[in-house]
Chains A and B, each alone.
Chain A
Amino acid sequence: MSTTLSVEKTEPGGAILRDVLRKAIRLRELQLVVAIAVVVAASAVAHPNFISPGNISFMLADSVVTAVLATGQTIVVLAKGIDLSVAPILGIAAVVVGFPAQNHNLPIVAALGLVVLVGLVLGVGNGLFVSVTRIPPIIATLATLSVYGGLQFIIANGQEVVNIPNAYDALGNNDVVSGIPWVLVIGVGIAVVVALFLRHTNVGRAIYAVGNNAGAAHRSGIPVQRVIFATYVVSGVLAGIAGLLYLCHTGSADSTTGTDSNVNLTSIAATLIGGTTLTGGRGGVVGSVIGAVFLSVALTAMVFARIPAIWEPAGVGLLILLAMVTDRHSSNLTARARRHRQGST
């Protein structure tokens, strides 16, 4: 076996460095960090208060709910799906826990178990529609969005959660150590666990494989439909947990919680901005979390710039468009580079 085919010729050290740099520049996570820095710097010049420890802590804590939702959304999108029903799942979890907590002082551990159960059941619903009856994900989850929304309305029954026990409030708003809120620790913990799960377990890798090429995954013995099913269940559970975090952080829940704050849009936006593509199999949780932070920073900057809150959804929508358009360009470039390389060998 003396003859071999090689992709890369041996390169001098400088070229390797250049290569690494080029790769880094193309990395979405790095682009986002730079974007965050730019937004922060610009806002700080105009409003020095923007970089006060209090505001930074607020922005980070504020991004946690989005980040947890985006983590679940990322898993679904990696397997070439989409989940438009995370908003009512979050809302149902919040009201299901909120009322017993307000009225009967439900212990927080039981609350956690309850939201996980709620997310599990509703996620199973989505998973069944997508993987068993094979309804396209957009339509299936758009339909469950309204079904779950109705369910939330019925559960809330016109009531509102306004008072939550101290334990909940402490979880939502107190710091572990000064400047680092509890929710942030929980959010980071979830993101790390999911990132490790996606990278280092065979189920995680199967999700990537299905998203890349479902036919080839099937040929390799991966149970494609079961993997797709699982992604919706995980997304549901994470949306349930996000509901608890939302309740603790804001101290309120009602029949339109989640839907009224456009968490569907923000979770998808964070995922896409973070570099996970709707074509499946590419991206990851780290990007989505940074994307959530970016969203939070950008929206806070809008507030500081005195832009009315009604423009928030429009801002997020514009960011989604921007993320898609720029991604299209970068993938074009890599495709061109590839063709060129193949042509020259």
Chain B
Amino acid sequence: MSQAHRHRTPADQPDTSTITVDAYGERLMSTSPPASTRYVASHVSKAFNGAPVLHDVSAVLEPGEVHSLVGENGAGKSTLFKIMSGLYRPDAGELALGGERLADLTPRGALQKGVYLVPQEPTLMAHLSAAENLYVGALPHRRMPFIVDWSRIHREAATYFERVGLDIDVETPARQLSIAQQQLLECARALVHNCRVIMFDEPTSPLTSHETEILFDLMRVLRGEGLALGFISHRLDEVFEVSDHLTVLRDGRMVASAGRDEITRDQLVTAMIGRPIGVRTRVRRTSDVTDRREVLKVEGLSSRPTFEDVSFVLTKHEVAGLAGLVGSGRTEIAETIFGLRKADHGEVWLDGEPLEHRTPRRCIDAGLVYLPEDRGRNGIFSDVDLARNVTAGIVPRLPLRWHLISTAREEAVARDSAARTSVRAASLGASISTLSGGNQQRAMFSRWLLAEPRVAIFDEPTRGVDIGAKDDIYDIISDLATSGLACLIISSDLEELALTCDRVLVIYEGRIVGEVRDEDVTTARLGELVVGGGRG
């Protein structure tokens, strides 16, 4: 084992044809990938709990091509890739790799056939070394079966890392790798398994522009080697930079499919959102409101290294936005204001009163609420009925009778609040998990309306919400602002910010780098600022 410590200068490319592997891996790798690797998904449909997510979608990943899926949140892009990699089973339609039909595909079966999905969030084993993560589940063994050949793992891992441009010690524990490095390691896993089809599900969202370039270089090299690549990104610039072919999904249907040079940016956007760009009316109210009292003041808020020196003010009736890439620190800022995280420095004032020793409870009682980004994990209590979900934010204020919670009055309160946001449900007693995403989000809004807030921070308010419900949520926010609430919207969807906000603050790598107001709030301007450009 001693010779296997540092292999930073690998000798040559791994000779993948000679790889022999252990009992698990044997079956994984014995089938060599088919000669032609055209991967066809035809007429695929999929529904979750009765809600259709994909409807009759077809896509072809050609060898030597990067094929991008574009579309808004919830358009079904990830679902299609997950079906193609065996994570989900399609309700209808079929998959065929190099002419061979793939029925009942599992992740394991996909890997055997040479199909790999680089997941949106890397799933590595935190306490295992980078090299072991590369081979996990199929560790090569020595002549004796079951005995792991560590020296070979370390030697060959180094060459794979070299190939994807990952310069790390092969024995570095995975938990010490940055997100970008983890992403590259996931790519290397696809190479280890000798995959001919690799799909990337939004690989660039946590990456800096430099790291993105490294990933794109790798994708171009793999394309040059004749692999079929799939790609999902929210950034249209990237899509045009790296793809050969584009397929547009909207609400689970395929609305366009064309070569990169056959479609313009405007056409693409029109196809994505279903109407020509700019026609969608601004939900934002005109600034005819006179009462512009300052409600929330944040001053010098820091939590190194996530964000630093964040200062801003929200006034009554205002809808402000916070724009920034994933990982720019925008959610962390909101969670720090709401008392979920500790700040190193800085203060928060509400209506001129300092909010000290902030906890969520104190903030809610003072009139500040926060709608979390990850609804399923941090928002809803999925096994709990709608009524108790709505009143979860005001547990210390639940109506009492003889010192006990009055169920009847609690339900009345919940019903009123749910009606204010037009939650549609079979009954107040139905588990919230039986509701659609849009109705779950409405229920979350009604939870916070009950707390009678003066300031509300909405983190990705329309994530996982169908198109129709989106506009309703914009209306709710707009009405709330009209009634005096100061709102801060955090969103990756720049168009959403442009539509709803009077003013947008832009965060880049943990600092506020710009502020645009009124007519300057455009998708293009925000797009420049969020990637750190366009200063001055």
Q: Do chains A and B touch in the complex (CB under 8 A)?
A: yes
Using CB atoms and an 8 Å cutoff, list the residues of chain A in contact with chain B: 1, 3-8, 200-206, 208-209, 212-213, 215-223, 281-282, 338-345
Q: A3-B165, A213-B126, A220-B137 given as contacts; is B108 within 8 A of A201 (CB)? A: no
Which 6 pairs show the lowest CB-CB distances between chains A and B? A343-B305, A220-B137, A212-B125, A4-B167, A6-B167, A216-B123
| Chain A residue nearest to B145 in the complex (CB) | A202
Q: Does B146 contact A (CB under 8 A)?
A: yes
Give complex CA distance A22, B128 in Å: 20
Interface size class, chain B: 35 or more
Contact A205–B132 (Cβ < 8 Å): yes
Flag B129-145 by CB within 8 Å of A: 1 or 0 each: 00010001111010000
User: Which among B132, B136, B141, B176 has the highest number of chain A CB atoms within 10 Å?
Assistant: B136
Residues of B within 8 A of A220 (CB): 136-138
Chain A residues near B28 (CB-CB < 8 A): 221
Which residues from 120 to 175 on chain B have a C-beta closer than 8 Å to any C-beta of chain A? Answer: 123-128, 132, 136-139, 141, 146-148, 150, 162-169, 172, 175
Are the CB atoms of B217 and A1 closer together than 8 Å? yes
Given A208-B127, A216-B124, A338-B175, verify A222-B305 contact (CB < 8 Å).
no
The answer on a CB contact under 8 Å between A338 and B148 is no
A71 to chain B, nearest CB (A): 19
Question: Measured between alpha carbons, how far is A7 from B129 in the docked complex, in Å?
Answer: 13
Segment at the A interface, from B178-186, B235-243, B434-442: B178-186
Is the C-beta of B211 less than 8 angstroms from some C-beta in chain A?
A: yes
Contact A6 B168 (CB under 8 A): yes
Tell whether A7 pairs with B146 under 8 Å between CB atoms, given A213-B124, A217-B137. Answer: no
Indicate which residue in A1, A223, A282, A341 contacts B221 across the interface (CB closer than 8 Å): A1
Sampled A-B contacts (29; CB under 8 Å): A1-B221, A3-B210, A5-B168, A6-B167, A7-B176, A200-B148, A202-B23, A202-B141, A202-B146, A205-B132, A205-B139, A206-B24, A208-B127, A208-B128, A209-B128, A212-B126, A213-B125, A217-B125, A218-B107, A219-B123, A221-B24, A221-B25, A222-B137, A281-B126, A282-B127, A338-B175, A342-B178, A343-B304, A345-B178
Contact A221 B137 (CB under 8 A): yes
Given A1-B165, A4-B165, A202-B148, check contact A208 B125 (CB 8 Å): yes
What residues of A have a CB within 8 angstroms of the CB of B150 in the complex?
A: 200
- Least distance between B159 CB and chain A CB atoms (Å): 12
* Nearest-Cβ distance from residue A25 to partner chain B, whole angstroms: 17
B218 at the interface (CB under 8 A from A): yes
* Interface residue? B22 (CB, 8 A): yes
In the complex, what residue of chain B is closest to A222 when comparing beta carbons? B137
Q: At the interface, yes or no: B111 with Cβ under 8 Å from chain A?
A: yes
Query: Is B103's beta carbon under 8 Å from chain A?
Result: no
Cβ of B145 to closest chain A Cβ, rounded Å: 9
A209 to B126, CA, bound (A): 9
Contacts of B419 in A (CB 8 A): none
Distance from B331 Cβ to chain A, minimum over Cβ atoms (Å)? 15
Q: Closest CB of chain A to B504's CB: distance in Å?
A: 25
What is the CA–CA distance of A200 and B28 in the complex, to the nearest angstrom? 20
CA distance A201 to B218 in the complex (A): 33
Does B213 sit within 8 A of A, measured CB to CB? yes
User: In the docked arrangement, what's the CA distance between A217 and B138, Å?
Assistant: 11
User: In the complex, how many angstroms separate the beta carbon of A219 from the nearest chain B beta carbon?
Assistant: 5
B151 to chain A, nearest CB (A): 11
* Closest residue of A by beta carbon distance from B149: A200
CA distance A202 to B172 in the complex (A): 20
B24, B138, B221, most chain A CB atoms within 10 A = B24
Partner among B107, B128, B137, B147 whose Cβ is within 8 Å of the Cβ of A281: B128
Given A212-B125, A339-B306, 9 other A-B residues pairs in contact with their CB atoms under 8 A? A1-B165, A3-B210, A7-B181, A205-B139, A206-B137, A212-B128, A216-B136, A220-B137, A338-B176
Q: In the bound complex, what is the Cα–Cα distance between A216 and B24 (angstroms)?
A: 15
Classify the interface of chain A: helix, strand, loop or mixed: helix
Bound together, the chains give a CA A201 to CA B23 distance in angstroms of 11
Total contacts A to B, CB within 8 angstroms? 118
**B313 on the interface (CB 8 Å rule)?**
no
Q: Nearest chain A CB to B300's CB is how many angstroms away?
A: 18
Interchain CB contact under 8 A, B305 and A5 = no
Contact across chains for B125 and A4 when beta carbons are under 8 A apart: no
Closest to B23 in A: A202
Q: Enumerate chain B residues within 8 angstroms of A344, measured Cβ to Cβ.
A: 305
A5 and B167 form a contact (CB under 8 A): yes
CB pair B127–A212 under 8 Å, yes or no, is: yes
* B residues near A1, Cβ cutoff 8 Å: 162-165, 217-218, 221
Q: Residue on A with the closest CB to B27? A: A221
- Judge whether B166 and A5 touch: CB under 8 Å: yes
Q: With A and B bound together, what is the CA distance between A220 and B221 in angstroms?
A: 25
| Neighbour of B136 across the interface among A3, A209, A338, A340, CB < 8 A | A209
Contacts of B148 in A (CB 8 A): 200-202, 204-205
- Is residue B405 within 8 Å, beta carbon to beta carbon, of the partner chain? no
**Does residue B277 face the partner (Cβ distance < 8 Å to A)?**
no
B27 to chain A, nearest CB (A): 8
Confirm or deny: B4 has a beta carbon within 8 angstroms of a beta carbon on chain A.
Answer: no
CA distance A5 to B210 in the complex (A): 10
Nearest Cβ in chain B — how far from A37, in angstroms? 28
B384 contacts which chain A residues (CB < 8 A)?
none
Expressed in whole angstroms, the Cα–Cα distance for A345 and B22 within the complex equals 38
Chain A residues positioned under 8 Å from B147 (CB to CB):
200-201
Contacts of B412 in A (CB 8 A): none
In the bound complex, what is the Cα–Cα distance between A345 and B210 (angstroms)?
12
Q: Is B289 located at the chain interface by the 8 A CB criterion?
A: no
- In the complex, the chain B residue whose C-beta lies closest to that of A196 is B147
Taking CB atoms, residues of chain B closer than 8 Å to A5 are 165-168, 178, 180-181, 184, 211, 214
B263 touches A (CB below 8 Å):
no
A202 pairs with B178, CB closer than 8 A: no
Would A221 and B167 count as touching, CB distance under 8 A?
A: no
Q: Is the CB of A209 within 8 A of B305?
A: no
Least CB separation from A282: chain B residue: B127
Q: Do B178 and A222 touch across chains, with their CB atoms under 8 A apart?
A: no
Give every chain B residue within 8 A of A281 (Cβ-Cβ): 125-128
**Which residues of B from 177 to 233 have beta carbons under 8 Å from A?**
177-178, 180-181, 184, 210-211, 213-214, 217-218, 221
Distance from B186 Cβ to chain A, minimum over Cβ atoms (Å): 10
Cα-based distance from A341 to B173 in the complex (angstroms): 14
Distance A132 CA – B172 CA, assembled complex (angstroms): 35
A201 contacts which of B146, B175, B180 (Cβ < 8 Å)? B146
Whole-angstrom distance from the CB of B175 to the nearest CB of chain A?
7
In the complex the two chains form, what is the Cα distance from A205 to B159 in whole Å? Answer: 22
> B147, B210, B221: which has the most chain A beta carbons within 10 Å?
B147
Q: Are A3 and B168 in contact (CB under 8 A)?
A: no
Q: Is the CB of B146 within 8 A of A203?
A: yes
A6 to chain B: closest residue by CB: B167
Known A-B contacts A4-B166, A5-B167; the reply to A342 vs B305 at CB < 8 A is yes
B125 cross-chain contacts in A, Cβ below 8 A: 208-209, 212-213, 216-217, 281
Task: Kindly name the residue among B25, B28, B124, B126 whose own CB sees the greatest number of chain A CB atoms within 10 A.
Answer: B126
Distance (whole angstroms) from the CB of A335 to the closest CB of chain B: 9
| C-alpha spacing A204/B177, complex, angstroms | 24
Contacts of A340 in B (CB 8 A): 305
